[in-house]
Amino acid sequence: MKQAAEQQHECAELRSPDEVMRLARMGSAFPTRLSFMRSLLRFVSREGASVSRPLWQINDEGYGRAVYQVQLGTHIYNLVAFATELEPDKRTDRVIAEAWDTSYVLFDGIPNAQDIDRLAANAPLQEAGRFDECDLILSRANKSVRLFSHVVESLANGRQPDIDLIRATGYLMRTTAVYGNGKFGIADREVIAARPGLDGPFRAEMLLVWLIRGFTHDLVEHVAQRRNSETFVPLDRRLKRYLGIGNSTGLGMAPFLVSHPILLNNWIMARETALARVRALPVAGPGSVEKIGQLLARVVLHLDQWSVDDEQQMQRIEVLRREVRELVQRLKELDWSQQAQPWDVVIAASKPYSLECQELVVALVLEPHGELIDDLEREMAWRIEPALNSKMRAAELTKCLNEAFGFANNIDFGARDQTAQFWYVSEEKLEPRLGARYEEDGAELEMPLDIARQVQALARDLAQTDGNETVAEFLLRHPGHRYAIARVQTAAKYSYSEIRDNLISDQCLPIDMLRLKLSFFGASKFDPRSDRWTRITLYQGAPLFDELSPEEADDWWLPVLPNLDVSG
């Protein structure tokens, strides 16, 4: 399906869903300029918005409450932050935690004293608290204790923190959950879905995280200054900009992509349309070649600064480092002044390399072309799911099935390895989990994420059906196929709506779905802790509250921390 925005520009052929919607490629994704954090801060910059701090009641040890205020469009939003003392044995990133160093609410409007007192009683409880429609987003975060303590000690004693430790960690705190869309009584998405600035996907969540980042910077300086005001020095601006917000993300996020097929399509379609527009450019625009050269130098340094404990991901990074350096040399040999469709040539040049290198190059060539592609961010929001077409003929449904789910027909679901896993919702935390079908109980509570298996079963029954029969007539005899039919019909209209892999096989790695979704948030420095959860960094390199000029607000793709002399 071609969306309206695509038809206004010359486009190359879009990459096939069979190529793009495979788990291995999804698990190689990088953030682009269409990522939600980037598009949010572009909006904030265009608005000329500023952040103020109307409340700061934090004691010398760093505990208390604070409020940060920003206006977007005609609406005012406030981050209400609480910092509390936390015993070391209670500090954990796991969802089963019941206490955190800090907790937050993005409040709709200006909170009064009673609102703040209410939130003070409930926000630290998180899921156990009580919230209302003025509370838009709920979150919590824990300190990176080693780095936070080191920065406090350094600043209090008149010196900047150790650059290597800053680079290795990249954040003072990491969130362990960011809740929106009506959870625990907070506002439904519909309350803010049409508001300027928050109308894109996860914009409210990303606004909250950006404000939290500023709070962590203020908090570490406050504690350091209170410790020794005579020798205190503020954190170097370049280090402060590099410090983002960490995040721990697990299985709970993975099924989202499956349960929101049209939203998934819109995200991928926007990115793929952007790529098609850039590839179709007949010549390199003024300054774009120079910009690509600057970005490639940044990429090399970013990759050198990206190290993880996970052996498999570290091997991929090492391969990527080598491939990027080789690609840089190949691109230096191009005569850009004579090269037709130069960015298509660059994409083609990446094909022999790893999937991770290929997807990095996709993000790279998009970066200098904001004027051409940034309008596509408007196409990424959720749209209402279409109703099932009961008048469709069985023959047409079969055709749609074979086009979108041809891969499913070739899977042997009688083999244990193809049904090795099952998705379910935990009773304790109401969070998605992944079980081993032949080793654990609970398969009878399976979530319907076995899309390929359901579609294959549909195909078998369709093969025994008169092609002129309507879907309504077919469902009278086979009511259990209603969900699969809806998926097939949706995929026929939205070509990037389905993951074209078996999500219950032993080869399904949830980390691949997590990385794709997080790349659209704008995350970098993926740090897998298993194939089921990862740490990331958000807003690393992003502008600070007083750095919202157009030049500063939108040039922080794959940030790096150069070797700085911050001694003394």
How do beta strands 51-58 and 432-436 pair?
Answer: unpaired
In this prediction, residue 6 carries a pLDDT of: 43
**Claim to verify: residue 255 and residue 400 sit in the same structural domain:** yes
pLDDT digits (tens, 9 = 90+) for 220-244: 999 999 999 999 999 999 999 999 9
**Per-residue pLDDT at 398 exceeds 90:** yes
Task: Note whether residue 309 is domain-resident.
Answer: no
Q: Is the CB of residue 437 less than 8 Å from the CB of residue 419?
A: yes
Q: Is the CB of residue 554 less than 8 Å from the CB of residue 38?
A: yes
For residue 58, CA distances in Å to 61, 146, 546 come to 8, 21, 22
**Claim to verify: residue 395 and residue 441 sit in the same structural domain:** yes
Q: Give phi and psi for 162, each to the nearest 5.
A: -65, 125
**Per-residue pLDDT at 88 exceeds 80:** no
Q: What is the mean pLDDT of the chain?
A: 93
**Claim to verify: residue 262 and residue 221 sit in the same structural domain:** no
**Claim to verify: residue 263 and residue 168 sit in the same structural domain:** no
Q: For the residues 347-373, what does the mean pLDDT come to? A: 97
**Claim to verify: residue 101 and residue 26 sit in the same structural domain:** no
Last residue of a domain, one of 193, 217, 250: 250
Q: How far is the C-alpha of 66 from the C-alpha of 56, rounded, in Å? A: 4
**Per-residue pLDDT at 434 exceeds 70:** yes
Q: For the residues 248-259, what does the mean pLDDT come to? A: 86
**Claim to verify: residue 73 and residue 198 sit in the same structural domain:** yes
Residue 565 — pLDDT band, cuts 50, 70, 90? low
In this prediction, residue 3 carries a pLDDT of: 44
DSSP 160: P
Angle between helical axes of 261-280 and 342-350 (0-180°, round to 10): 120
**Claim to verify: residue 206 and residue 257 sit in the same structural domain:** no
Q: For the residues 275-286, what does the mean pLDDT come to? A: 93
**Claim to verify: residue 80 and residue 168 sit in the same structural domain:** yes
Residue 93 — pLDDT band, cuts 50, 70, 90? low
Beta bridge partners of 143: 173
DSSP 337: T
pLDDT digits (tens, 9 = 90+) for 201-226: 999 999 999 999 999 999 999 999 99
SS3 track for 94-134: CCCCCCCCEEEEEEECCCCHHHHHHHHHHHHHHHHCCCCCC
Q: 23-33 in b/e burial notation, b at 16+ Cβ within 10 A?
A: bebbbbbbbbb
Q: Is the CB of residue 422 less than 8 Å from the CB of residue 435?
A: yes
Task: Note whether residue 308 is domain-resident.
Answer: no
Residues 97, 101, 106, 110, Cα dihedral to 10°: 140
**Claim to verify: residue 407 and residue 447 sit in the same structural domain:** yes
Query: Quick one: what percent of the chain has pLDDT higher than 90?
Result: 81
In this prediction, residue 1 carries a pLDDT of: 42
**Mean pLDDT comparison of 184-188, 405-409, 454-458, highest-scoring range:** 454-458
Task: Note whether residue 332 is domain-resident.
Answer: no
Q: Is the CB of residue 83 less than 8 Å from the CB of residue 101?
A: yes
Q: How far is the C-alpha of 193 from the C-alpha of 114, rounded, in Å? A: 27
Residue 413: name the closest of 468, 451, 375 by CA: 451
- Three-state DSSP at 69 gives strand
Q: What is the pTM of this model?
A: 0.93
How do beta strands 64-72 and 75-83 pair?
Answer: antiparallel
Q: How far is the C-alpha of 342 from the C-alpha of 278, rounded, in Å? A: 9
In this prediction, residue 96 carries a pLDDT of: 59
Place of tokens 């995350």: 523
Q: How far is the C-alpha of 102 from the C-alpha of 213, rounded, in Å? A: 12
Task: Note whether residue 361 is domain-resident.
Answer: no
Q: Give residues with Cβ within 8 angstroms of 410, minimum separation 6.
A: none
**Cα 248 to chain centroid, rounded:** 12
In this prediction, residue 430 carries a pLDDT of: 72
Determine which of 106-115, 173-182, 462-471 has the lowest per-residue pLDDT on average. 173-182
Residue 290 tokens, joined = 């120079």
Task: Note whether residue 567 is domain-resident.
Answer: no
Task: Note whether residue 508 is domain-resident.
Answer: yes
In this prediction, residue 253 carries a pLDDT of: 81
In this prediction, residue 314 carries a pLDDT of: 95
In this prediction, residue 61 carries a pLDDT of: 97
Q: How many CB atoms lie within 10 A of CB 2?
A: 11
Residue 442 tokens, joined = 């609970």
Rg (CA), the chain: 25
Q: How far is the C-alpha of 458 from the C-alpha of 190, rounded, in Å? A: 34
**Claim to verify: residue 395 and residue 504 sit in the same structural domain:** yes
Task: Note whether residue 59 is domain-resident.
Answer: yes
Which amino acid belongs to residue 394? A
Residue 194 tokens, joined = 């049409």
**Claim to verify: residue 148 and residue 264 sit in the same structural domain:** no
Residue 563 — pLDDT band, cuts 50, 70, 90? confident
Residue 512: name the closest of 491, 498, 533 by CA: 533
Residue 405 tokens, joined = 């789910």
Q: Give the Cα-Cα-Cα angle 520, 260, 539 (nearest 5 degrees).
A: 20
**Per-residue pLDDT at 375 exceeds 60:** yes
Q: Is the CB of residue 215 less than 8 Å from the CB of residue 514?
A: no
In this prediction, residue 99 carries a pLDDT of: 86
Burial category of 301 from C-beta neighbours within 10 Å (exposed 0-12, middle 13-18, buried 19 and up):
middle
**Per-residue pLDDT at 68 exceeds 70:** yes
Q: Is the CB of residue 404 less than 8 Å from the CB of residue 339?
A: no
**Claim to verify: residue 132 and residue 256 sit in the same structural domain:** no
Q: How far is the C-alpha of 70 from the C-alpha of 49, rounded, in Å? A: 7
In this prediction, residue 503 carries a pLDDT of: 97
Residue 242: name the closest of 533, 525, 527 by CA: 525
Task: Note whether residue 364 is domain-resident.
Answer: no
Q: How many domains does the chain have?
A: 2
Residue 561: name the closest of 34, 123, 95, 169 by CA: 169
What is the residue range of 189's domain? 36-250
Angle between helical axes of 510-521 and 36-47 (0-180°, round to 10): 10
pLDDT digits (tens, 9 = 90+) for 508-554: 999 999 999 999 999 988 999 888 888 899 999 999 999 998 888 89
pLDDT digits (tens, 9 = 90+) for 315-344: 999 999 999 999 999 988 888 878 899 999
Q: Give phi and psi for 243, each to the nearest 5.
A: -80, 110
